[in-house]
Amino acid sequence: MKVIFAGTPEFARVALQALLDAGHAVPLVLTQPDRPAGRGMKLQASPVKQLAQAHGLPLAQPRSLRLDGKFPDEAQAAQAAIAQARADVMVVAAYGLILPQWVLDAPRLGCLNIHASLLPRWRGAAPIHRAIEAGDAQTGITIMQMDAGLDTGAMLLRAPLAILPQDTTASLHDRLAALGGQLIVQALAAGALVPEPQPAHGVSYAHKIEKAESTVDWTLPAEVIERRVRAFDPFPGASTTAAGEVVKLWSSQIDSMSRPAGVPCGQILHVDDEGVRVACGSGVLRLTALQRAGGKRLPAQDFLRGFGLQPGMVLGTDQA
């Protein structure tokens, strides 16, 4: 098939590579404009752009596809490129731009989306993060025929994937990306798939992750905080304050389902090479990997050599 591909991050790059490996022609790639990144804040090409350039694929990076929006010239140029591509289908994976109706109607077979959840659960921007945060036992990939709604289109293929107890967003992302690449190739090879409308029940929305969510609320149960630590790895990273410094929390384990009475939430109960035990709203959480501002992720025993966390200190406050 002739496939226009629209995507931006690593999740999308894996899908594009799978399409190329399967022998599909890609006459056009759409990806987000280069963004500042890293300590030097230099402009960096998206993973999809890097792969497209490595294969010499035609590339467009409009800031918007709305013909009546803020960047009509860029949208019109993209419209001309899409028309010239004469594609059978557009495959979309974590592109990051809203597709107007003219885009959805442009390819002969419309636009297919690779969505990282079992729809209709976790429609929206952050399905991987939210599935871990909620404690879901499984997630998966849905290949969906796109319509004008937010992940509301009819489903063509679904494949489940178990969420492991130790999964972070990073580890689950990698398995879902590989599954997404396999499933879109399967969908295009299948020919006529029967679209299945999404059920009206079970709808939930995976709202975008905000940096403000990273701050740990120690009044929450230990199991909730433990899931958030995993859900926010690698972005934005769970964090707390200790002795006036911001400390990132990268891994943790539930140490106990009960906690000592009369102890404030966030108080450090015990410190040793196995971790930092902290009282939560219910239960005790053991922090096993931490990071100071400007430092590296370190196992607790290495972190503690350079940062004097002590029993009795209360995290999340300036109290020692």
Q: For residue 271, what is the domain's CATH number?
A: 3.10.25.10
Which of the listed residues 178, 206, 234 is the one where a domain comes to its end?
206
The answer to the question of residue 316 being in a domain is no
If one counts the domains in the chain, the total is 2
Q: CB–CB of 183/141 below 8 Å?
A: yes
**Does the reported pTM lie above 0.85?**
yes
Let me know whether 182 and 254 are in one domain. no
Q: CB–CB of 14/8 below 8 Å?
A: no
Q: CB–CB of 127/115 below 8 Å?
A: yes
The mean pLDDT values, 10 residues at a time, for the chain of 320 residues are 97 98 98 88 94 98 96 97 97 96 96 98 97 98 96 97 98 98 96 91 96 95 98 96 95 94 95 97 98 94 93 80
Q: What is the pLDDT of residues 289-300, one digit of tens each?
A: 999 988 999 999
Q: CB–CB of 46/32 below 8 Å?
A: yes
The answer to the question of residue 105 being in a domain is yes
Let me know whether 183 and 229 are in one domain. no
The answer to the question of residue 71 being in a domain is yes
Residue 285: give the domain boundaries.
211-306
Let me know whether 254 and 290 are in one domain. yes
Let me know whether 116 and 254 are in one domain. no
Let me know whether 145 and 283 are in one domain. no
Euclidean distance between CA atoms 284 and 232, whole angstroms: 20
Rounded to whole angstroms, what are the CA distances from 12 to 1, 5, 31, 180? 18, 9, 10, 9
Write out the two tokens for 84.
């010239």
Which of the listed residues 155, 172, 206 is the one where a domain comes to its end?
206
Let me know whether 191 and 289 are in one domain. no
Helices (H) and strands (E) in the chain, counts: 8, 17
Is the peptide bond prior to 234 cis by the omega test (within 30 degrees of 0)? yes
Write out the two tokens for 291.
């990071």
How many other C-beta atoms can be found within 10 angstroms of the C-beta atom of residue 6?
Answer: 28
Let me know whether 175 and 226 are in one domain. no
- 175-190: b or e for each residue (b if 16 or more CB lie within 10 Å)? bbbbbbbbbbbbbbee
pLDDT of residue 320: 43
227: closest CA among 173, 290, 166, 278? 166
**284, exposed or middle or buried, with CB in 10 Å at 0-12, 13-18, 19+?**
buried
Q: For residue 78, what is the domain's CATH number?
A: 3.40.50.170
The answer to the question of residue 311 being in a domain is no
Which residues, other chains included, contact 56 with Cβ-Cβ below 8 Å and sequence gap of 6+?
A: none
Let me know whether 240 and 134 are in one domain. no
Which of the listed residues 141, 173, 206 is the one where a domain comes to its end?
206
Which residues, other chains included, contact 224 with Cβ-Cβ below 8 Å and sequence gap of 6+?
A: none
Euclidean distance between CA atoms 142 and 121, whole angstroms: 10
Euclidean distance between CA atoms 76 and 216, whole angstroms: 45
Full 3-state SS string of 76-143: HHHHHHHHHHCCCEEEEECCCCCCCHHHHHCCCCCEEEEECCCCCCCEECCHHHHHHHHCCCEEEEEE
Q: CB–CB of 303/251 below 8 Å?
A: no
pLDDT of residue 41: 83
Euclidean distance between CA atoms 67 and 49, whole angstroms: 23
The answer to the question of residue 259 being in a domain is yes
